[in-house]
Structure 1
Amino acid sequence: MADLDKKTWIQKGLSGIKQLGIMLLLFLVVSTAVDLWRGKDIPTQDLPHISALDLDGNLVDVMAMSQEAPVLVYFWGTWCPVCNFVSPSVDILSNYYPVVSVAMSSGSDERLAHFLDDKGYTLSTINDKQSFLAREWSVQVTPTVMVFKDGELAHYTTGFTSLPGMWWRMVFA
């Protein structure tokens, strides 16, 4: 009887693993399809140049930076609820990779700097007060994460993304 229970338990465990694998594969396919649909307006050729001063007064030139290493560009807003979950991961990633954040329609430099300080974020942040850069890049969903390598857009995703997801995009850029 004990052998039968053990065999049944193993079969149920394998069945559960198979179901989990199918669900993860389905999630990956749907997530990729949604990313492609939401990002259909993001240019991939003749890319606009991202060159601006960050809140610390440093000139940030994403295309030049990407010649040395992959650069993650994070379009977000202080008003974006999903960004509250993604921003901490982006900040962690900025300790290991070049990261430039573009805060869309998030108020004055002082207000934005106060927000970043309150959250403990150390990101290089461009204040895109009127969302000029976002419109130039056809960013319509926040957050949007782009990875540039050698002056080219290597990866992008919109909406929620995890730290491992961003990390993998940086590794494979």
Structure 2
Amino acid sequence: MKIIRDLLLLIMFVGLLQTFMQRDMRSGATPDLPMKTLSGENSAKLLANKPAIIYFWGSWCGICAAIQGTISEVLHDYPGITVALRSGNNANVLSYMQKHKLNWQVINDNDGALAESFGVSAVPAVFILGADGEVSFITLGYVTEIGLRVRLWWLTSGYWVG
């Protein structure tokens, strides 16, 4: 019984911590994104009229490295843009992505201005957008593939009324 109580307390603590850490993160309409990704794709077209992901990460972030496979799998099935936060110049970001075999549409946010406009103070951070382009879900820190897929499914299933 003590184990169950302790587990419930831990879950409550983590939930409260997540809520506190996400308090300044953007909800509703997203700020304007740069028009082009590093590969030259139009960022607005990539996210238009369907549930999508905006993923903030850093080449220096250990947790981001741990969930690269998760993000790649989800981006294989859903549209999205990734934002490299304070990870060096464009060549550094592209080199990192090539080294780690990451085939993502990426915007380089070397000065952190885009992250600041989204209220991102830590990475990894995932914004899940509805078909209307508004933020429906936010995750901060480690996230599982099933966790992202359930949120995206929820948006496409008609159950979400956010």
Same fold (TM over 0.5): yes
Q: How many residues align?
A: 154
State the distance in 2 between where 1:28 and 1:83 align.
22
Segments of 5+ residues of structure 1 without an aligned counterpart are 1-14
Is the alpha carbon distance of 1:97 and 1:84 closer, same or farther for their aligned partners in structure 2, counting shifts above 3 Å? same
TM-score (norm 2): 0.84
* CA drift at 1:28: 4.6
Q: CA RMSD in A?
A: 2.3
State the distance in 1 between where 2:13 and 2:153 align.
23
Greater RCO (CA < 8 Å, at least 6 residues apart): 2
State the distance in 1 between where 2:88 and 2:23 align.
28
Q: Find the partner of 1:58 among 41, 46, 49.
A: 41
Q: Find the partner of 1:136 among 91, 113, 117.
A: 117
Residues 150-165 of structure 1: matches in 2 within 5 Å?
A: 150-165=132-147
Q: Find the partner of 1:172 among 132, 141, 154.
A: 154
Q: Is the 8 A contact 2:47 2:80 kept in 1?
A: no
* CA drift at 1:88: 1.8
Is the alpha carbon distance of 1:27 and 1:170 closer, same or farther for their aligned partners in structure 2, counting shifts above 3 Å? farther
* CA drift at 1:52: 3.0
Is the alpha carbon distance of 1:127 and 1:37 closer, same or farther for their aligned partners in structure 2, counting shifts above 3 Å? same
CA offset digits 1:94-120 (Å, max 9, x no partner): 110112100001111111111111111
State the distance in 1 between where 2:21 and 2:91 align.
32
1:101 corresponds to: 82
Q: Is the 8 A contact 2:29 2:134 kept in 1?
A: no
Runs of 4+ in 1 over 4 A off after TM superposition: 25-28
Give the secondary-structure state (helix, strand or coil) at the position aligned to 2:19: helix
Return the letter of the residue paired with 1:142. Answer: V
Segments of 5+ residues of structure 2 without an aligned counterpart are 156-162
* CA drift at 1:163: 1.1
